[in-house]
Amino acid sequence: MKRLVTTLLVLIGLSTGAAMAGSTYPDIPKAVGAPHPEGNDYMRLNHMRLLRHDRNLTVHDGDRSIKYSIKECVACHAVMGPDALPISVQEKGHFCRNCHEFAAVKIDCFQCHNSKPEDGFIDLLKQNPPATDDEIQAYLDGMSQ
Amino acid sequence: MLSTLYAVLFYVATIILVVGTGMKVARYARTPAPLKIPVSPAPRTKRGVWFRMFREVAFFQSLFKSNRWIWIFAVLFHFGMLLVLLRHLRYFTQPVWWWVDLIQPIGVYASFAMLAGLGGLLLRRIVVPRIRYISNPSDYLMLALFLGIVLSGMSMKFLMPVDILGVKQFFLGLMRFQINELPTQPGVLIHLALVATLMIIFPISKLLHAPGVFFAPSRTQVDNARKFRHLSAWAKQLPPLPEGIPEPEEGK
């Protein structure tokens, strides 16, 4: 019995020691532009499949008129740095980086692709003001019906 | 509700795993080894025993000598599992340790090695008549449990992706004594329930061969019976030795 209690105390001590300060969930930066019609939950689980599927369509089959483009992902989800210009995946706070670091999943997209929006897409960002909380709430209400 | 259930399940399972295995290990450590029984060829020095135990644990030397087929499947399974387990550290560390980040992708392929090893070991129990004859329900249960864990895990990787951020948040929460919401995709629930089952039955199962190998006198004893008299703890309390017989080197 004494041994059991000691072990329990050690166990609790260890877990408390592991309890470091700080949030246990990555910060997900807000995107500009219309929300995904599939919903955020769907995109969180399946974005990698959509990207891979389209990679195969474009690279293997030569179809360049596909629904999703990594250029658009990067544009809508751009995070601005202190100089008000989009930051690259090399910098902390990049949209893809936060969650991927949390889950320890490597991104190989940006070995070839640009992680910052291209010039044409930056203009697009300027035309579309960021979605307000009300707009997003309205969209989510619409989704749940 | 489901999150609370799984949180309680994992706290209970962890306590049973740690306390139960600890008690078994304590019992192994106290069990007397009255005879000198190292399996030869055995090392004659303590350093040699350390080296032998390393070969046993790292390469499964005695299994390699006795049965090459089981050795192949055992190596596939155990080292696949090692990589897969290390890969899972990403759910319990924040920030993730750099070397976990490094081996994380390799663990994906290790799951196939694990599956092949388990499949081979299960096939052996079914196909080889004499092994089939001596196989108990618990032998099949362990293989089935591991197969269930591997298959449910792989299905989350390759078939139905799940919200791994939510899973990590749940387990980081458990380590901080708070209950965060657990994603309720079937893959997550099945995988975690099977893992908790494994943790609970570990201290009463054949899987105790993991700590047990370090307490096997046939492997851990030094082959020095001709040089020193072997005495177990209870025998030391007997009257002193007659003249001319050297004292034992250590208690083993």
Task: Give, in order, the Cα–Cα distances in Å from A10 to each of B16, B63, B155, B175, B178.
Answer: 14, 36, 36, 14, 19
Q: Where are the domains of chain A?
A: 24-144
Q: Which of B14, B90, B172 to mutate to test the interface with A (most CBs of A within 10 A)?
A: B172
How does pLDDT run across B87-110, given as a tens digit for each residue?
Answer: 999 999 988 999 999 999 898 999
Candidate from B15, B104, B165 with C-beta closest to A26: B165
The helix-helix angle for B164-175 and A95-102 (nearest 10°) equals 50
Q: Provide φ and ψ at A80, rounded to 5°.
A: -85, 140
Is A86 in a helix, a strand, or coil?
A: strand
pLDDT at A121 over 80: no
Read off the pLDDT band of A21 (50, 70, 90): very low
Picking from A77, A71, A2, the residue whose alpha carbon sits closest to that of residue A43 is A77
Q: Tell me the domains of chain B and their CATH numbers.
A: 2-27+60-211 (1.20.950.20)
Whether A104 and B18 lie within 8 Å, measured CB to CB: no
Q: Nearest 5 degrees, angle CA A28-CA A45-CA B177?
A: 60
pLDDT in tens, B186-235: 999 999 999 999 999 999 999 999 999 999 999 999 999 888 888 777 77
Residue A74's CB is within 10 A of a number of other CB atoms, namely 24
Which residues are registered as beta bridge partners of A80? A86
Q: Are residues B207 and B28 in contact, defined by beta-carbon separation less than 8 angstroms?
A: no
Give the pLDDT of residue B183. 92
Q: If we measure between CA atoms, which residue out of A74, A78, A87, A139 comes closest to residue A113?
A: A74
Q: Dihedral through CA B165, CA B170, CA B175, CA B179, nearest 10?
A: 150
Q: How far apart are CA B18 and CA A142, in angstroms?
A: 49
**Which chain A residues have a beta carbon less than 8 Å from that of B23?**
3
With an 8 Å Cβ cutoff, are A24 and B172 in contact? yes
For residue B93, what is the DSSP state? -
- The candidate with the shortest Cα–Cα distance to B42, out of B208, B249, B216, is B216
